[in-house]
Amino acid sequence: QARLEASLEKYRALPADMTTSLSNSMPTQEDLPGLFVFLDDLVTYSGMTLTTVAATPGTAVITPTTQGETVSSNLRSLNVQVAASPSSDYQSVKTLLDNLEKSQRLFDVISINFSETSASKTDQKAGGGVTLSLRTYYLAQTP
């Protein structure tokens, strides 16, 4: 109990910008509206248009990935499907992946599906789409 209280005091003493950064990378709730807005902004910033987004609850993340690692019993995951239409080429998809990697929010890219459509006779510009399967995390509050 004493160690927990000491940790909480250290957290409370952190500057506001640092706690905001921590909250952005590991939210304390699902916050689906915030996640959807974040993804829409990220896709738009990457030069694409968000067409669909869906999130489903994942499982609790309780198994350490390496020996000696501790994982909180409150760590939860969300499975997210994102579909976007690139402007015209694969470069926008690469930009999206780069922006996703640099974002404060933690994401694991599970799969990527890029499809390019050829130009039609009436529209000389080729198009395409990308579908991303992502996993993101949040730290659930205990009652």
Residue 70: the pLDDT is 54
Closest of 80, 79, 78, 81 to residue 138, by C-alpha: 78
Q: What is the pLDDT of residues 22-65, one digit of tens each?
A: 666 778 788 899 899 999 999 999 989 999 999 998 877 766 56
90-102 vs 32-45: helix axis angle to the nearest 10? 130
Which amino acid would we find at residue 11?
A: Y
Q: How many residues does the chain have?
A: 143
Residue 5: the pLDDT is 80
Average pLDDT over residues 59-73: 63
Instruction: Extract the tokens encoding 16.
Output: 């506001």
Q: What is the pLDDT of residues 87-138, one digit of tens each?
A: 667 788 889 999 999 988 889 999 999 877 655 555 555 567 889 999 998 8
Closest of 116, 93, 80 to residue 43, by C-alpha: 93
**Could you identify the residue written with the tokens 């003493």?**
13
